[in-house]
């Protein structure tokens, strides 16, 4: 069975999109995920984990937490925890802020840690200016700095959805973006920008119709090899809500990718699973609600491990589950034939 999606957000054209569950077979392999109880608040959400360059710190965002700028609200603040034993245990989180106000009444989050290990820089969501915080684009701020985050200039930046997120490689040569634009396949798609030689980044280029689905792609993370892309999606076939996927870049212009593979039941379940991130030692971190999509989002850690034992009965059960069978997904936009407006 196939599904259809629009080609271009203002287009009446359609093309076929195959939905099927394809599991990642590795490598790399990961151990059984472990919760991080020291970073967990009873009713709050913890998400968007980002390890520091040395792996001794972990930035993450919190919502519905009394210690945030807005208290128990949906807006997210940035927090940081430190580890002295290679991430096996973590200390009490501290609220990250600067004199200029890194945490605001909007959704704040670290997207990546970049630059030299001796003088790292945070890539953070949004634009900070004299008039306050705007929930658009992305900025940089030095770790431990006192100034206002400086906007990252991206040519032609736009997104019809404010729910954007980003990733940047430590050498700052690749910027990945989750945006909803005119050429998106459905909701947010993944894009790439590169340095333009003048201190900014080129216009976002879509990663194409293999990675991007009719649904919502977000939380990109590029491994150190520059080719292995982890991301989350509601559009590719999975186990329930958002799942974590992996794809391999096959050419140098970022347009050809292997078919995304689901990381499987070790990472993904009926609930929300997203924001996969890798530490310098290969340890993975991610956020999950577990079995229920409505449960609070909590952080998990999984170090490198041996290949998982394949349970043939689980594979048979998954094949028999109608939710893991190919199904039709139709997306598009209805336009007035006279005015071409929605």
Query: To the nearest whole percent, how much of the chain has pLDDT over 70?
Result: 85
Parse the chain into domains and list their residue ranges: 21-305
Q: What is the pLDDT, as a whole number, of residue 291?
A: 77
Q: 247-294 pLDDT, tens per residue?
A: 999 999 999 999 999 999 999 999 999 999 999 999 999 999 987 777
Q: What is the pLDDT, as a whole number, of residue 9?
A: 43
Q: What is the pLDDT, as a whole number, of residue 320?
A: 36
Question: Which of 70-79, 103-112, 131-140 is predicted least confidently?
Answer: 131-140
Pick the CATH number of 21-305 from 1.10.150.20, 2.115.10.20, 1.10.3210.10, 3.90.226.10: 2.115.10.20
Q: From residue 95, how far is each of 46, 50, 78 by CA, in Å?
A: 13, 15, 6
Report DSSP letters for 51-103, one per residue.
E-TTSSEEEEEEES-TTSTTSSSS--EEEEEE-SSTTSS-PPPEE---TT-SS
Characterise 172 by phi-psi region: left (phi > 0), alpha (psi -120 to 50), beta (else): left
Q: Chain-wide mean pLDDT for the chain?
A: 85
For residue 20, pLDDT beyond 90: no
Q: 307-340 pLDDT, tens per residue?
A: 876 554 444 344 334 344 444 444 444 334 433 3
Q: What are phi and psi of 315, to 5 degrees?
A: -65, -40
Q: What pTM was computed for the model? A: 0.86
Q: 209-256 pLDDT, tens per residue?
A: 999 999 999 999 999 999 999 999 999 999 989 999 999 999 999 999
pLDDT band at 5 (very low <50, low <70, confident <90, very high): very low
Report DSSP letters for 90-123, one per residue.
-PPPEE---TT-SS-SS---EEEEES-TTS-EEE
Q: From residue 86, how far is each of 110, 288, 301 by CA, in Å?
A: 21, 22, 11
């Amino acid at each position: 069975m196939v599904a259809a999606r629009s080609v271009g957000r203002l287009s009446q054209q359609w093309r076929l999109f195959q939905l099927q569950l394809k599991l990642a077979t590795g490598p790399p392999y990961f151990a059984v995920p472990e919760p991080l109880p020291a970073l967990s608040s009873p009713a709050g959400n913890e998400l968007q984990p980002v390890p520091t360059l040395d792996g001794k710190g972990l930035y993450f965002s919190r919502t519905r937490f009394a210690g945030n700028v807005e208290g128990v609200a949906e807006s997210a603040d940035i927090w940081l925890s430190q580890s002295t034993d290679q991430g096996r245990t973590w200390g009490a989180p501290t609220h990250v802020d600067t004199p200029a106000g890194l945490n605001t009444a909007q959704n704040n989050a670290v997207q990546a840690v970049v630059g030299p290990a001796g003088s790292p820089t945070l890539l953070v969501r949004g634009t900070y200016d004299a008039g306050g915080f705007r929930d658009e684009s992305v900025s940089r701020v030095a770790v431990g700095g006192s100034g206002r985050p400086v906007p990252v200039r991206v040519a032609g930046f736009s997104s019809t959805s404010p729910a954007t997120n980003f990733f940047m490689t430590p050498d700052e040569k690749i910027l990945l973006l989750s945006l909803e634009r005119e050429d998106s396949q459905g909701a947010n798609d993944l894009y790439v920008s590169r340095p333009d030689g003048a201190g900014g980044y080129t216009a976002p280029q879509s990663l194409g119709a293999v990675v991007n689905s009719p649904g919502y792609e977000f939380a990109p993370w590029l491994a150190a090899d520059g080719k292995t892309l982890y991301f989350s999606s509601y559009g590719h076939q999975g186990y329930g809500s958002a799942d974590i996927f992996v794809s391999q870049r096959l050419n140098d212009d970022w347009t050809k990718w292997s078919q995304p593979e689901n990381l499987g039941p070790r990472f993904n379940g009926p609930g929300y699973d997203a924001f996969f991130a890798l530490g310098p030692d290969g340890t993975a971190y991610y956020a999950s609600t577990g079995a229920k999509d409505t449960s609070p989002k909590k952080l998990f850690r999984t170090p490198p491990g041996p290949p998982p034992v394949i349970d043939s009965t689980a594979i048979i059960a998954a094949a028999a589950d109608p939710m893991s069978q190919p199904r039709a997904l139709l997306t598009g936009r209805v336009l007035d034939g006279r005015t071409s407006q929605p």
